[in-house]
Amino acid sequence: MPLERRSWAEPFKIKMVEHVRIPTREQRERAIAEAGYNTFLLRSRDVYIDLLTDSGTSAMSDRQWAGMMLGDEAYAGSESYYRLEASVRRHYGYAHVVPTHQGRGAEHIISRVLIREGDVIPGNMYFTTTRLHQEMAGGRFVDVIVDEAHDPASECPFKGDVDLGKLERVFQENPGRVPYVSVAATVNMAGGQPISLANMKAVYELARHYAVKVILDATRIAENAWFIQQREPGQQGRSVGQIVKDLCAASDGCTMSAKKDPLANIGGFLAVNDVEVAEAARNLLVAFEGLHTYGGMSGRDMEAVAIGIEESLQDDHIRARIGQVLYLGEKLRQAGVPIVLPIGGHGIFLDARAFLPQVPQEHYPAQALAAAIYLDSGIRAMERGTVSAGRDAASGEERKPKLELVRLTIPRRVYTQAHMDVTAESVCAVYEERDAIRGLRMTYEPKLLRFFQARFEPR
């Protein structure tokens, strides 16, 4: 067999296992009804394969667990903080590191520091918590992502790119009212789609021209860098770590949920180059998160993040991580299941509109599809459509996003290829029975981030 045809495998072996239970059909029916047809409200003991999220669900390495034993739990001046700071500076290149309990802690702080009432924040598609903190700080989010990002079938290689024309229009129409551009790498709600390095640099140049900052959401930046290495002319042969540094260099700071790329179960940080922004952030930090040398994390958490950052940037790690996502995605694509293309970095996104054309958007097709998959196999996915989009802050109307998706999110280093096979089989089985799936009616709607706790009943 020629060498290039040989399979590859994960660059690790398994040292510890966690048992899972396969609930019976009867148990699943009861569980999803009790959960109000919302997969967020299922108890994890009722879940077989948990593809709700890749957030905080990664398997830590033996090195990370060893690091946890070295955690310095001092209230002030923890050595673990200094190791985290050194890791962030070395791998992402920012000068000042402000630790937070998780990503939204960093989003809260940077939004309050930079946004004033009436400001406008352009970005490459909204993310739920990011936009909420921008709105709570008095700002308004404006989507400036390329049009292709809203089309599940478009195979554009960089659907995370900013449309520079749209961005410049926002600058021109809101002089003095744009504190920063909010750029995510990768773009979660678009399907884990990457931004190109060229576009990132162009955004930074344009923003600088208008004296506007660029704040990067670096939550899945290693995955983004891998796509750049694979797809962007001139980037082949460069390491993921080098590309990550280049992306960060085209920004003024970043927010990070260390629960994703950095392979930790909890944690995050804000990192910036401007000392005044860092000082203002640390001032708020002591009110909302904790002292500036722990910010809501224990010493052992900070150790796990510091080591996880390093591991996340290894090319063999990221190849296997995204390789597994591609494996599942290819199976579904070959079976004719409608998914967001190209296949993204952290999960497979089913196109619920194409999957369930008989269910109108007001009946929450993606929510209904996630519940149907759980019922079929005990596999837990997440709605990313109308329920997630919520209501417009000004008008109170339900937003109707073009993308009505169900996310099958793959935790890092947790599931095997056989788990992916079982997942593909379940989704295909639901696809065959799709005509029988009906929509849902919302019976309880929380005010903020409603998708987490909303309840539904079948129509």
- Catalytically active residues, by annotation: 75, 127-128, 217, 260, 384, 451
Question: Counting Cβ atoms within 10 Å, is residue 165 exposed (0-12), middle (13-18) or buried (19+)?
Answer: exposed
- Residue closer to ligand P61, measured from CB, 126 or 431: 126
Q: Of the candidates 80, 102, 229, 377, which one interacts with ligand P61 according to CB under 6 A? A: 102
Q: Which residue is nearest to ligand P61 (CB)?
A: 103
With both helix axes pointing from N to C terminus, report the angle between 275-288 and 103-114 in degrees, rounded to the nearest 10: 120
DSSP letter assigned to residue 196: P
Query: Which of these segments, 65-73, 127-135, 309-317, 436-444, binds ligand P61 (CB under 6 A)?
Result: 127-135
Closest distance of CB 458 from ligand P61, Å: 22
Rounded to an integer, what distance in angstroms lies between the CA atom of residue 373 and that of residue 431? 9
CB of 272 to ligand P61, least distance (A): 16
Residues recorded for the chain = 459
61/224 with CB nearer ligand P61? 224
Helix or strand or coil: residue 192? coil
Which of these ranges, 88-96, 97-105, 246-254, 364-372, lies near ligand P61 under the rule CB under 6 A? 97-105
Q: How many residues at the interface with ligand P61, by CB under 6 A?
A: 18
Q: Which is nearer to ligand P61, 55 or 293 (CB)?
A: 55
Residues 135 and 108: their CA atoms lie apart, in Å, by 10
Nearer to ligand P61, 241 or 268 (CB): 268
| Window of 64-72, 121-129, 195-203, 306-314 that interacts with ligand P61 by CB under 6 A | 121-129
User: Rounded to whole angstroms, how far apart are CA atoms 261 and 59?
Assistant: 12
Q: How far apart are CA 346 and CA 340, in angstroms?
A: 12
Distance in angstroms (rounded) separating the CA atoms of residues 130 and 23: 35
**Stretch 167-206 residues interacting with ligand P61 (CB under 6 A):** 184, 188
Shortest CB 182 distance to ligand P61, Å = 10
122-130, 226-234, 284-292, 357-365 -> range binding ligand P61 (CB under 6 A): 122-130
Stretch that binds ligand P61, among 101-109, 167-175, 270-278, 358-366 (CB under 6 A): 101-109
Q: Which of 23, 123, 253, 268 binds ligand P61 (CB under 6 A)?
A: 268
Burial label, 336 (beta-carbon count in 10 A; 0-12, 13-18, 19+): exposed
Our finding on whether 129 is near ligand P61 (CB under 6 A) is yes
Stretch touching ligand P61 by CB under 6 A, among 100-108, 152-160, 223-231, 329-337 = 100-108
Strand 379-380 relative to strand 49-50: parallel, antiparallel, unpaired?
parallel
E strand spans, 124-163: 140-143
Please select the residue that binds ligand P61; options are 182, 257, 367, 377, rule is CB under 6 A.
257
Nearer to ligand P61, 257 or 426 (CB): 257
The answer to the question of residue 251 lying near ligand P61 (CB under 6 A) is no
Write out the two tokens for 353.
């509109």
Which listed residue (38, 53, 174, 182) binds ligand P61 by CB under 6 A? 53
Q: How far is the CB of 436 from ligand P61 (least distance, A)?
A: 27
103 touching ligand P61, by CB under 6 A: yes
Q: Token pair of 222, please? A: 């290693």
Peptide bond into 179 cis (omega under 30): no
**Do 130 and 114 meet the contact criterion of CB atoms below 8 Å apart?**
no
| CB of 374 or CB of 431, closer to ligand P61 | 374
Residue at 313: amino acid letter = L
CB-nearer residue toward ligand P61: 225 or 431: 225
Q: Give start and end residues of each alpha helix (H) in 97-220.
A: 103-114, 128-136, 164-173, 197-209
**Burial (Cβ within 10 Å: 0-12, 13-18, ≥19) of residue 172:** exposed
Q: Would you give the binding string for ligand P61 spanning residues 209-248, x where CB under 6 A is met?
A: --------x-x-----------------------------
- Say how far apart CA 185 and CA 92 lie, in whole Å: 13
Q: Does 413 bind ligand P61 (CB under 6 A)?
A: no
Of residues 61, 124, 130, 367, which one binds ligand P61 by CB under 6 A? 130
CB 312 within 8 A of CB 262: yes
CB 97 within 8 A of CB 84: yes
Q: Cα-flanking dihedrals φ and ψ of residue 349, to 5°?
A: -110, 115
Category of 191 on φ-ψ map: left (φ > 0), alpha (ψ -120 to 50) or beta: left
**55 contributes a contact to ligand P61 by CB under 6 A:** yes
Q: Which residue in 108, 259, 282, 321 binds ligand P61 (CB under 6 A)?
A: 259
> Which residues lie near ligand P61 (CB under 6 A)?
53, 55, 102-104, 127-130, 184, 188, 217, 219, 257, 259, 268, 382, 388
